């Protein structure tokens, strides 16, 4: 896979597929981590004299312009981070995009409007996707893929466009792939994996693949209640995927035979209802109960304090740790302690630590941890998981020669 160091970009129109899919509250960006992650690639290209055309998706518009998903706020923040002007095109391949790109001088940067405002970006029809890729290719001379959070999607700007232009990986994707290889090839052991989040079905593929690779798998978040139910425990009104119980039981049995340790919570923080994460209002019926003694009608919303200490102890001697998914509803102070305990456990270990994107990365920033103290914080939760599942990611395959 070539990198931007292999390209002669001076005076060239360079199309950078970034992942600027940031969370917004109105027009306010609440977490700019993905913008900051791709900024070094954009800055390097601009400093090398390229005419940089940045493109991304944001949210899930239905193939047509939708003001709530406009990248205009992102253009403003990107300009602040880069310390240079960023022209903004009000469409993707239309008259404004063409005029904006034509006006770029060497070392200047433009951002196109949301790629998903065009139905060709996400179309399952090869011809429709290809037509959009052709229109994007007409804007540029070179392609740089640096949107790691989208490389598991077979979308026009991710998969089809690189085939139409000389291409290379940006600095972010090169870093992400290097990190993921450290999690899959010649892994330093003990290798511990922490998985959380809401649904166990979202993690089945990665658990399947890790049964032969990880030494220890720690389970928290909403998905843990399917594991607890599989062990015969009652889980009250907690999130439960009953159809996955046989699969989970099979994993637990296979793990025991393979010598892979599954670590489940021994206590759980519960409430009678889901908390108000917007106001952070106190939870009057908050209590901590044993994992095998959850009361009827109560929701498990975080691992308990004893579990937090247990998880930290299981990470203390690890040489490699991959973490994907919060331990609870970390957005509310009452149910953030489990996620804090895991984050601190990663920092206290001497392991190479990888925070696997998505909600885990958001939790690290929201809870005030220093990102620089982790080995790596990924920008792509879904992409990271699919890589660990052993799947071929279309956006990475498209960058290989």
Model pLDDT for residues 69-107, shown as the tens digit of each residue: 999 999 999 999 999 999 999 999 999 999 999 999 999
Tokens of 360: 């885990």
What pLDDT shows up at residue 116? Answer: 98
Question: Which residues 6+ apart lie within 8 Å of 196 measured at CB?
Answer: 219, 220, 221, 222, 223, 224, 323, 324, 325, 326, 327, 328, 339, 342, 360
* Residue of 358, 380, 381, 395 marked catalytic: 358
Residues 216 and 161 occupy one common structural domain: no
- Residue 200 reports pLDDT greater than 90: no
Residue 121's nearest CA partner among 102, 87, 147 is 147
Model pLDDT for residues 221-250, shown as the tens digit of each residue: 999 999 999 999 999 999 999 999 999 999
Residues 117 and 240 occupy one common structural domain: no
The residue range of the domain holding 103 is 4-171
Residues 132 and 241 occupy one common structural domain: no
- Residue 357 reports pLDDT greater than 80: no
Please state the separation of Cα 212 from the chain's center in Å: 24
> Per the domain annotation, does 396 fall within a domain?
no
What pLDDT shows up at residue 356? Answer: 87
Q: What is the mean pLDDT of residues 359-368?
A: 90
The CA distance from 361 to 365, in Å, is 7
What CATH code is carried by the domain that includes residue 284? 3.40.50.1260
Show which of 142, 171, 200 is a domain's final residue. 171
**Residue 36 falls in the annotated catalytic set:** no
* Residue 59 labelled as part of a binding site: yes
* Residue of 199, 213, 254, 365 marked catalytic: 199
What pLDDT shows up at residue 382? Answer: 87
> Per the domain annotation, does 83 fall within a domain?
yes
* Residue of 34, 216, 229, 314 marked catalytic: 34
Lowest-confidence range among 34-38, 119-123, 199-203? 199-203
Per 3-state DSSP, the chain is made up of helix, strand and coil in percentages (nearest 5) of 40, 15, 40
> Per the domain annotation, does 300 fall within a domain?
yes
Residues 242 and 328 occupy one common structural domain: yes
- pLDDT band with cut points at 50, 70 and 90 for residue 401: confident
Residues 377 and 232 occupy one common structural domain: yes
**Residue 199 falls in the annotated catalytic set:** yes
Q: What is the mean pLDDT of residues 266-270?
A: 98
**Residue 34 falls in the annotated catalytic set:** yes
Domain count, the chain: 2
Residues 148 and 278 occupy one common structural domain: no
What pLDDT shows up at residue 198? Answer: 87
Longest dimension (CA), the chain: 67
Q: What's the angle, vertex CA 146, arms to CA 389 and CA 103, rounded to 5?
A: 155
* Residue 155 labelled as part of a binding site: no
Residues 266 and 301 occupy one common structural domain: yes
Confirm if 168 and 7 have CB atoms less than 8 A apart. Answer: yes
- Residue 347 reports pLDDT greater than 90: yes
Residues 118 and 193 occupy one common structural domain: no
* Residue 129 labelled as part of a binding site: no
* Residue 365 labelled as part of a binding site: no
Tokens of 328: 């609870």
How many CA within 13 A on the CB side of residue 270?
23
Residues 52 and 136 occupy one common structural domain: yes
What pLDDT shows up at residue 380? Answer: 86
> Per the domain annotation, does 401 fall within a domain?
no
């Amino acid at each position: 896979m070539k990198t931007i160091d292999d390209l002669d970009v001076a005076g060239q129109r360079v199309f950078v597929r970034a992942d600027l899919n940031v969370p917004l509250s109105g027009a306010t960006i609440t977490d700019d981590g993905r913008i900051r992650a791709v900024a070094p690639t954009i800055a390097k290209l601009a400093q090398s004299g390229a005419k940089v055309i940045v493109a991304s998706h944001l949210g899930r518009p239905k193939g047509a312009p939708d003001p709530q998903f406009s990248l205009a706020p992102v253009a403003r923040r990107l300009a602040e981070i880069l310390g240079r002007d960023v022209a903004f095109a009000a469409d993707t391949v239309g008259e404004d995009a063409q005029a904006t790109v034509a006006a770029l001088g060497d070392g200047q940067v433009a951002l196109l409007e949301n790629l998903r405002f065009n139905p060709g970006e996400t179309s399952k029809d090869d011809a429709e996707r290809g037509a959009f890729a052709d229109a994007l290719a007409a804007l540029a001379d070179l392609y740089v893929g640096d949107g790691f959070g989208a490389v598991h999607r077979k979308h026009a700007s991710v998969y089809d466009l690189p085939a139409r232009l000389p291409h290379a990986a940006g600095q972010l994707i090169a870093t992400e792939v290097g990190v993921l290889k450290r999690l899959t090839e010649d892994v330093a052991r003990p290798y511990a994996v922490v998985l959380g989040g809401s649904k166990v079905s979202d993690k089945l593929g990665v658990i399947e693949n890790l049964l032969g690779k990880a030494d220890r798998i720690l389970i928290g978040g909403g998905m843990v209640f399917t594991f607890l139910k599989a062990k015969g425990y009652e889980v009250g009104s907690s999130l439960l995927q009953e159809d996955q119980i046989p699969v989970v039981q099979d994993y637990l049995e296979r793990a025991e035979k393979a010598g892979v340790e599954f670590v489940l919570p021994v206590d759980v923080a519960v409430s009678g209802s889901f908390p108000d994460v917007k106001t952070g209002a106190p939870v009057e019926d908050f209590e901590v109960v044993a994992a095998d003694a959850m009361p009827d009608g109560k929701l498990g919303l975080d691992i308990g304090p004893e579990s937090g200490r247990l998880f930290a102890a299981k990470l203390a001697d690890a040489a490699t740790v991959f973490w994907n998914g919060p331990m609870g509803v970390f957005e509310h102070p009452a149910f953030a302690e489990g996620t804090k305990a895991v984050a601190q456990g990663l920092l206290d270990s001497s392991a190479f630590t990888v925070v696997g994107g998505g909600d885990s990365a958001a939790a690290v920033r929201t809870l005030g941890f220093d990102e620089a103290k982790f080995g790596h914080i990924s920008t792509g939760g879904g992409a990271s998981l699919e890589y660990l599942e052993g799947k071929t990611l279309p956006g990475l395959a498209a960058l290989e020669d």
